[in-house]
Chain A
Amino acid sequence: MGYVAIKGGGRAIQGADAALDALRTREGEQGTPLSLDTIENQLRLLTSRVISEGGLYHPRLAALAIKQMQGDTLEAAFALRAYRSTKPRLLQTPVQNTANMRLIRRISSAFKDIPGGQMLGPTPDYALRLMRMDLADESPEAFRSMAQRFLDDVPASDLPDSFPKVVDALRAEGLLPALENTTQEAFDITREPLVFPVPRSAALATMARAETGSLLAIAYSNMRGYGDVHPTIAELRVGYLPVMLPHPVTGEPVEAGEVLMTECEVVAMYENEDGSGTPTFTLGYGACFGHNEVKAISMAILDRALQKGMRDGPGNPSEDPEFVLLHVDGVDSMGFASHYKMPHYVTFQSDMDRLRTTQQKQAQSEPSTPGDCA
């Protein structure tokens, strides 16, 4: 591909910026600018998606990116990544334990009686997909009183913040392989290119910030038949992970803040192919920033598929690490698609020259037909 420098577009580009803002503000005097708090709270799943795909847990900046990019999740994630690239990295956290997540939702499709119980939390899973027309004309008074009314109706509860994991119970029953102590340093995809084969930690990190639709599409191919994971959700959890950092003076762990996360473990087909040891279920794992359930489930399915592909060689696209990991990043794929909008005048001119030459040669080589003679 070739590019050509052109001039004269500066005024047009400035005009395009102004045109974008003109459309954003076209409500005129009746309009109200979206506040970042409004975006963060009322469009919380959109914010979650951008946090996750941007790979930076910064809900406020994600809300700003959504506002700036007028709701385009790919561009918003791009803006968040661009922002993070301007910041120095100060530290790597000690390994955090997601068993400490302060949950707002946990379900299992494997067992009904999971330790601690199932709690649906905030979910539209069981709601009818009918339009709620009352939201179209919601009064500020009703809106402002709703959250308080919800709390007023709830008796005091002594539920714990965190709950035991379902996979730990399965492991205790010998249905899952015992955990091995791994000492391998995790792969940092923001500093190292993916050169295959890559360790599993690179796959997990890549999928954790992958574009949700891309991840879902490849996981869906596995679900529909181009694969054989046949997952059952052992547990899907949404909650706030306390991030513990050492106090610079005392060295003691201190809670520096918390991160909203979604985590999912899927149980897949059991294995004992070599006949040695006790047969156990296999597992897939998915987790990402924010409240993104479809993404976490898709990631868990693909994790299991990739484990199989890394061990036995890929039997289908979803088991091929190179195919999956190089095609799920939203900023990468959006960038490549968008670059086709850039001027390709030289390359296309060349294409046209070649086509015309080929047409001329073909015309010269064709025998003249009798009717052509005068």
Chain B
Amino acid sequence: MNATPPTLPPRGQWPRLLLAVPAASVRALAEQLTHTLQVEDLHLPQSGLGLLSLRDSALNDTYFPGEIPVSRAHVRVTAGSGIPVEGAAQLLDDRASLARAIAVIDAVLAGQLPGFAQVLPLLQAGQARLDADKRVRQALLSTTRVDFSLIGTEQDDDND
């Protein structure tokens, strides 16, 4: 029986999935991909801060609760004499090298460039890690859900 080939998640999820796996794996794969691809930096990779903007739920005012680490990169990737594909990443992470690696992978996935298939297992590993985190969070909620109907019954019993 043939295994079903993994489907590609939407582009908007790629950074989250890649951030969920060890950064060394992402960097190593991006490095490996660049052996057969031409990568040009459209903007130099940067790391710094982002000002987080929220809206309060009492009066609908916008305010800044603080800052977050941000890194970003924007590249153009070309395979042989093919059409160049742009890839980019903006991460809540202060490692510019990781942002560049994810930007390269973003281009490879978006253009289905050579090496595309090697990225899919990494995305799957990221999804598995996120699923595990989700399971923990759901366990924190489900094991502590308050059943007020039971409390009501016991109080009634006490009142009797």
Q: How far, in Å, is A325 (CB) from chain B's closest CB?
A: 13
Does chain B have a CB within 8 A of A184? yes
Name B60's contact: one of A105, A179, A256 (CB within 8 Å): A179
What are 27 A-B residue pairs whose CB atoms fall within 8 Å in the complex? A56-B68, A57-B92, A84-B49, A89-B48, A90-B72, A91-B72, A93-B52, A93-B68, A95-B53, A96-B55, A98-B54, A102-B134, A105-B141, A112-B148, A154-B142, A179-B60, A180-B59, A204-B63, A205-B66, A243-B92, A254-B11, A254-B15, A261-B65, A284-B58, A285-B57, A287-B54, A287-B65
Does chain A have a CB within 8 A of B117? no
Name A188's contact: one of B51, B86, B137, B138 (CB within 8 Å): B51
Most chain-A Cβ atoms within 10 A of its Cβ — which of B19, B66, B69?
B66
Q: How far, in Å, is A49 (CB) from chain B's closest CB?
A: 13
Name B67's contact: one of A155, A187, A190, A200 (CB within 8 Å): A190
Contact, CB under 8 Å: B49 / A94: no
Q: How far, in Å, is A307 (CB) from chain B's closest CB?
A: 8
Contact, CB under 8 Å: B59 / A179: yes
Contact, CB under 8 Å: A184 / B61: yes
Does chain A have a CB within 8 A of B46? yes
Contact, CB under 8 Å: B57 / A90: no
Chain A residues with Cβ below 8 Å from B138 are 157, 159
Within 8 A of A (CB), among B2-56: 11-16, 19, 46-56
Chain B interface residues toward A at CB < 8 A = 11-16, 19, 46-70, 72, 74, 86-94, 106, 110, 134-146, 148
Contact, CB under 8 Å: B61 / A91: no
Does chain B have a CB within 8 A of A223? no
Q: Which of A119-127, A212-220, A328-336 contacts B (4 or more CB under 8 A)?
A: A119-127
Chain A interface residues toward B at CB < 8 A = 52, 54-58, 84, 87-99, 102-105, 112-113, 117-123, 150-151, 154-155, 157, 159, 161, 165, 167-168, 179-182, 184-190, 199-201, 204-205, 208-209, 240, 243, 245-250, 252-259, 261, 263, 265, 283-285, 287-289, 303, 307
Q: How far apart are the CA atoms of A150 and B135 in the complex, in Å? A: 11
Q: How far apart are the CA atoms of A181 and B59 in the complex, in Å? A: 9
Q: How many A-B residue pairs have CB under 8 A?
A: 241
List the A residue with the shortest CB-CB distance to B42: A248
Contact, CB under 8 Å: B56 / A287: yes
Name B61's contact: one of A182, A252, A258 (CB within 8 Å): A182
Contact, CB under 8 Å: A151 / B139: yes
Contact, CB under 8 Å: A254 / B55: no
Contact, CB under 8 Å: B66 / A209: yes
Q: A56-B69, A186-B62 are in contact. Are A87 and B49 (CB under 8 A)?
A: yes
Q: How far apart are the CA atoms of A90 and B91 in the complex, in Å? A: 11
Chain B residues with Cβ below 8 Å from A102 are 134, 137
Name B86's contact: one of A87, A118, A243, A249 (CB within 8 Å): A249
Question: What would 6 more interface pairs be, CB under 8 Å, given A190-B67, A209-B65?
Answer: A57-B92, A58-B69, A87-B94, A94-B53, A113-B148, A259-B68
Chain A residues with Cβ below 8 Å from B143 are 150, 154
Q: How far, in Å, is B156 (CB) from chain A's closest CB?
A: 15
Contact, CB under 8 Å: B49 / A247: no
Chain A residues with Cβ below 8 Å from B57 are 98-99, 165, 167-168, 263, 265, 285
